Structure 1
Amino acid sequence: MNFRKIRTGVLSALLGVLLTVTGTALYVGASGPGGQHDAWLDSWSAAQMSAADARAPNWSADGFAGHTIRQTVRPTLAGESVRITLSNLFGDRPLAITAATVANTAAGAAVRSGTVRPISFGGAPGAVIPRGAELTSDSIDYPVNARQSLTVTLYLSRPTGPATFHYLANTTTYRAIGDHSADIDGWAFTESSRSWYYLSGVEVSGTPNRDGVVAFGDSLTDGAGAWMDMDNRYPDVLADRLAVAGRPRAVLNTGIGGNRTVPDPTSAGQSAATRFRRDVLDKDGIGTVILVSGINDIGASELLEPWARPNPAVTADQLIAEYRLLIRMAHTDGLRIVGGTLPPYRGTPYFSERGEQVRDAVNSWIRGSGEFDAVVDFERVLADPSDPDVLAAPFDSGDHLHPDPAGYSAMADAAARVLIGKADQ
């Protein structure tokens, strides 16, 4: 799918609009917030999906009409100015944003008094985002603290149709009827959801660099098994570990639960290579990507659920060919790519001995091929020492595939050691 990412900014009216074409994406941008020494750096991100990808009922299918939605995110990089990106990649009509605000998060749907600031788009309080496009707001002088929650509120006065969204937010989103974009308290927000809608990125101003990390993959990255509103997915904990180690940097989570590596899934987001440019290469300030993807390709052939179709039996050679494609794409853009081995999954509904042979072959290739710039051996970190084909009980969320918070913490520790050069070789 071709898409456009439109950058607005008050400066564009004064300095003109710079158009560049990168791959299939069109960018309309403005200068940085504070002159030539500042840059825009991605601080938080969510991979976008079609409403048809919803695995359970939520607000994405019907969309919104006369609603305010209040969403909480956790930026991983600090900055003195902020801007947001909203996505209509998979909408069926232009998306009208009537009003938007940013604020510091309080309890529930409330925000902190004195922190609510309006967000503008090309100097206007709202905007219309074309189908298949993403729109980045004007910058506002608003200090953002690393790893502290930020609330973005959108008022959508006109019917939106099916919403572009991210299913597994593991964070509560709130909804109210009418315009409550500037409310301090949360009393009007009487409905809640576990997904993010339209919000695809938060950027902050900073010194130009390529220190950031994208964690890319499926539900093991997205955070299935993590706790609601606790920010304890492995990329969240990785950002904490790097900061404690004196190596703070952005860590972006672009995982999608159920996502696959081999092309042509019909649900759970576009395949890895299809979305890799949008969700990795086009992020600002990124120098490394950690790839953990493939377990759904291996297991889907054992499932009968509609979301898994088409579900041919995928081979190790097919997965390795896709890994090689992602490696080439990363290296062409100057990124370092770290391969993560696939954890054990015996005991899940889609386990099979055939699939286990594929997983073993893939993991052997990841470890031994030398084609990744580095390897994080998540399998060995998470496996039961007495039975390496099983997820260790202290790390098992209960489904024998997804780690619990202790398991995600162990994954983050292993990834941090690789990123700061202290992994056991």
Structure 2
Amino acid sequence: MVAAIVSAAVLAVPVGAAGSGGSQDWSAAWATGVHHPVPSNDWDGPNWSVDGFNGESVRQVVRVSAGGSRLRVRFSHRYGSQPLRLTGATVGSSGPGATVRPGTLRPLTFGHRSSVTVPAGAELVSDPVPFEVAALDRVTVTLYFAGSTGPATFHQGGLTTSYRAAGDRRADPGDAAFGGATSHSWYYLAGVDVSGVPPRAAGRPGAGGGPAGPSGRTGGSLGATGTVVAFGDSLTDGYGTTPDADNRYPDRLAERLVAQGRRLGVVNVGINGNKLLADSPCYGERGVTRFHRDVLGQPGVRTAVVLIGTNDIGGGGFPDFGCGASPVVTADEVVDGHRALVRAAHRQGIEVVGLTIPPMKGAFGYDTPANEAVRDRVNERLRAGVGYDALVDLDRLLADPTDPDALRPEYDAGDRLHVNDAGAELIAVEVARVLR
């Protein structure tokens, strides 16, 4: 037990700086923002975070935005209530659904051990594993917990199907055991990093130089020279876009960069419901706090893209329904929060792209004259300049020409607040224009 905990402590180290893996430089190819366990609900669907896992395997699929010849996986037990015993884990190239492509499964180790105990509140990085992956490939991570995990640190709005099965299914490439419950959340996964330059993989679905995968999108085979981190709330997390389609705006941005031959990974650390200035037990730590970990702590981070403040403004004054208070905010407070993010990024030499706050007229609870006045004032100040290296004016881009306080109908996901796939594509196009 002592050796296992020491192993976890050694591995739970900061990974943000380039070269943190020794002589190898690492770039984040996929990441998510994690938060407290929360019960299932009608609008977000079922999740397994409160009960966790016991004698079960959980299989999770992610799409990487950059290629490499080596891979490592990051895990988070930040919001755990007890030590977490991870009995073992594997990674493999994704097949349809819960399947893994034959011959691609690789065991993950931690300090050269297959099992590890992670203290509550800690984060963990696997040992590097040789694993050729191209940009826009999907990889599957399978975790096995022989005992009870307790409540699971997770990301609720994954918009990607995760699977669970009884028993140890780490080495099982098939999907028969995973035919039961599914969820659209990610559990314990925090990031997938790549290093090295993979050989061109002609003929691999979704790989550079080969045919398009099932989505019709082709990948790239060159390794990344840095990472773009998309930070924000549900507008970044992708709420309103099609599940299991990778149509969030950071996904579409990654595709555009690959198509342009730009060797930049893109990772998405948006969290549904997140606020810039207030913590929530359901929707994550306040943006001005988690920015330091979720953005500045990413390996190889080069640029941050910031879209946040909608929930501070629209939710201001809401009663506490169990997810924390929603204080009324002023435009000055929101703008000062944006300035704090810019200063923190610039201190580390990271460029920051800001996005104005989109229209929300007609959004239930958010649309009030007072909230609209604050949103207008915040956007005026962002346009005037708060230190961003570039600004994308989403307010004007997404506005209905006949009613500028409302979303254009063709971009509305249906609630007058979130964008659909077409809106996400527009955001990706405009962000790609300003990235250097």
Q: Structures share a fold, TM > 0.5? A: yes
Distance 1:28 1:108, change over 3 A: closer
Distance in 2 (alpha carbons) for counterparts of 1:232 and 1:399? 18
Distance in 2 (alpha carbons) for counterparts of 1:395 and 1:359? 19
Q: Which residue of 1 aligns with 2:186?
A: 196
1:405-424 CA deviation, whole Å, 9 max, x = no partner? 0000000000001114xxxx
Q: Which residue of 1 aligns with 2:95?
A: 106
Query: Which one of the candidate residues 82, 89, 100 is aligned to 1:93?
Result: 82
Q: Which residue of 2 aligns with 1:399?
A: 415
Q: Which residue of 2 aligns with 1:248?
A: 263
Alignment of 1:266-285 (within 5 A): 266-285=281-300
Distance in 2 (alpha carbons) for counterparts of 1:34 and 1:333? 19
TM-score by length of 1: 0.89
Query: Which one of the candidate residues 335, 347, 354 is aligned to 1:320?
Result: 335
Q: Which residue of 1 aligns with 2:204?
A: none
Distance in 1 (alpha carbons) for counterparts of 2:224 and 2:71? 17
Tell me if structure 2 keeps the 8 A contact 1:101–1:119.
Answer: yes
Distance 1:35 1:198, change over 3 A: closer
Alpha-carbon deviation of 1:26? 4.7
Distance in 2 (alpha carbons) for counterparts of 1:29 and 1:270? 19
Q: Which residue of 2 aligns with 1:234?
A: 249
Alpha-carbon deviation of 1:371? 1.6
1:360 is aligned to 2:376: yes
Unaligned runs of 5+ in 1: 1-5, 20-24, 421-425
Distance 1:331 1:310, change over 3 A: same
Q: Which residue of 1 aligns with 2:202?
A: none
Query: Which one of the candidate residues 27, 37, 41 is aligned to 2:27?
Result: 41
Q: Which residue of 2 aligns with 1:180?
A: 169
Tell me if structure 1 keeps the 8 A contact 2:17–2:298.
Answer: no
Distance in 2 (alpha carbons) for counterparts of 1:264 and 1:108? 35
Alpha-carbon deviation of 1:31? 11
Unaligned runs of 5+ in 2: 198-222
Identity of aligned residues (%): 46
Q: Secondary structure at the match of 1:255?
A: coil
Tell me if structure 2 keeps the 8 A contact 1:7–1:27.
Answer: no
Q: Which residue of 2 aligns with 1:22?
A: none
Alpha-carbon deviation of 1:273? 1.3
Query: Which one of the candidate residues 358, 364, 370 is aligned to 1:349?
Result: 364
Q: Which runs of 4+ in 1 moved over 2 A?
A: 6-9, 25-36, 52-57, 206-211, 263-267, 301-305
Query: Which one of the candidate residues 287, 303, 306 is aligned to 2:321?
Result: 306
Distance 1:51 1:391, change over 3 A: same
Distance in 2 (alpha carbons) for counterparts of 1:298 and 1:40? 37
1:59 alignment partner AA: W
Relative to structure 2, which stretch is displaced further, 61-70 or 312-321?
312-321
Distance in 1 (alpha carbons) for counterparts of 2:40 and 2:247? 23
Alpha-carbon deviation of 1:212? 1.5
Q: Which residue of 2 aligns with 1:82?
A: 71
Q: Which residue of 2 aligns with 1:257?
A: 272
1:197 alignment partner AA: Y
Tell me if structure 1 keeps the 8 A contact 2:16–2:300.
Answer: no
Alpha-carbon deviation of 1:379? 1.4
Query: Which one of the candidate residues 134, 147, 171 is aligned to 1:158?
Result: 147
Query: Which one of the candidate residues 401, 410, 414 is aligned to 1:385?
Result: 401
Alpha-carbon deviation of 1:30? 13
1:51 is aligned to 2:45: no
Alpha-carbon deviation of 1:353? 0.9
Distance in 2 (alpha carbons) for counterparts of 1:205 and 1:273? 29
